[in-house]
Amino acid sequence: MSKKQNNIFKFISILFIGMMATSFSSFGGEDKGLLAQADSLFKLQKYTESFEIYEQVLEGSNEASPQMLMKMAYIKEGLGDYNQALYFLNKYYQQTSDKKAQNKMEELATDHEVNGFALSDTTLFKGLVHKYYAEFNLLIFGVALFLIGIVLYRKFKSGSNATPYAVSAVVVLLLFFWLTNFELSEPKGIIIEDHAYLMTGPSGGADLIEVVKKGHRLNILDEAGVWIKVEWNGREAYIRSKMIKRIS
């Protein structure tokens, strides 16, 4: 076996071990006791009390099941807080790609005259990846194992050139690592305060573009300290970070 193939094989081995260590690590689950308590209160229609506990669970673990997010959206809509209802519906849709949730977001956005909730191809694809997250990872991981098996066979049995398969395995493993550790692009945020100022630059002395109310969903382009660079009606704008809540 050539020195080049040996180096590639060593690289694949290190990469594979790294994937196993990071991709299947525990992410820390929700507090089951608190969640059960919140669910009981929700069934008793004690929505305010249940929401407080759901929020505590979410803040503690930074994770939420689709069922919990839908309940939080339901509670906020019932309380007349369309802004928070849109936020939790958006988080729910990211995990499920539920068309009903998308329709509900569009309905609320229309009723309250806020923009940014039309379904894009990128949003649809991102939702599908979340919905079939386990299936995507199993498929990619299975292909990677198959390719590694071929590399091992060619290295130790047939002695033939394994380089093309080794390179393919590296590409597949990197794709697997990307899917399991990184979000797709196009981060978004929802304006959470009324009378939010959109400026031409990251400064209070910049020119004013528009004053908008809460509820609009914007693409986040960059962050500059206390300012967030966003897209508004096809142009770049800046908004104070305390005025917008990141969704993804």
Position 1 in a domain: no
- Show the domain range for 88: 32-130
Q: For 84-141, what is each residue's pLDDT tens digit?
A: 999 999 999 888 888 899 999 999 999 999 999 887 666 666 666 666 767 777 888 7
pLDDT value, residue 131: 65
Q: For 26-57, what is each residue's pLDDT tens digit?
A: 444 447 888 999 999 999 999 999 999 999 99
> CATH no. for residue 224?
2.30.30.40
pTM above threshold 0.75: no
Residues 148 and 215 in one domain: no
Residues 117 and 139 in one domain: no
Tell which of 156, 181, 206 closes a domain.
181
Position 49 in a domain: yes
Q: How confident is the model at residue 194 (pLDDT cuts 50, 70, 90)?
A: very high
Share of the chain above pLDDT 90, in %: 48
Q: How many distinct structural domains can be found in the chain?
A: 3
Residues 163 and 240 in one domain: no
Average pLDDT, whole number, for the chain?
83
Question: Three-state secondary structure along the chain?
Answer: CCHHHHHHHHHHHHHHHHHHHHHCCCCCCCCHHHHHHHHHHHHCCCHHHHHHHHHHHHHHHCCCCHHHHHHHHHHHHHCCCHHHHHHHHHHHHHHHCCHHHHHHHHHHHHHCCCCCCCCCHHHHHHHHHHHCHHHHHHHHHHHHHHHHHHHHHHHHHHCCCCHHHHHHHHHHHHHHHHHHHCCCCCCEEEECCCCEEEECCCCCCCCEEEEECCCCEEEEEEEECCEEEEEECCEEEEEEHHHEEECC
Position 23 in a domain: no
Residue bearing tokens 């519906």: 89
Residue 78 has pLDDT above 70, yes or no: yes
Residues 52 and 110 in one domain: yes
Position 15 in a domain: no
28-37, 77-86, 237-246: which range is least confident on average? 28-37
* Average pLDDT value for residue range 9-31: 51
> CATH no. for residue 77?
1.25.40.10
pLDDT value, residue 29: 47
Of the chain, the end-to-end C-alpha distance in Å amounts to 47
pLDDT value, residue 23: 46
Residue 4 has pLDDT above 90, yes or no: no
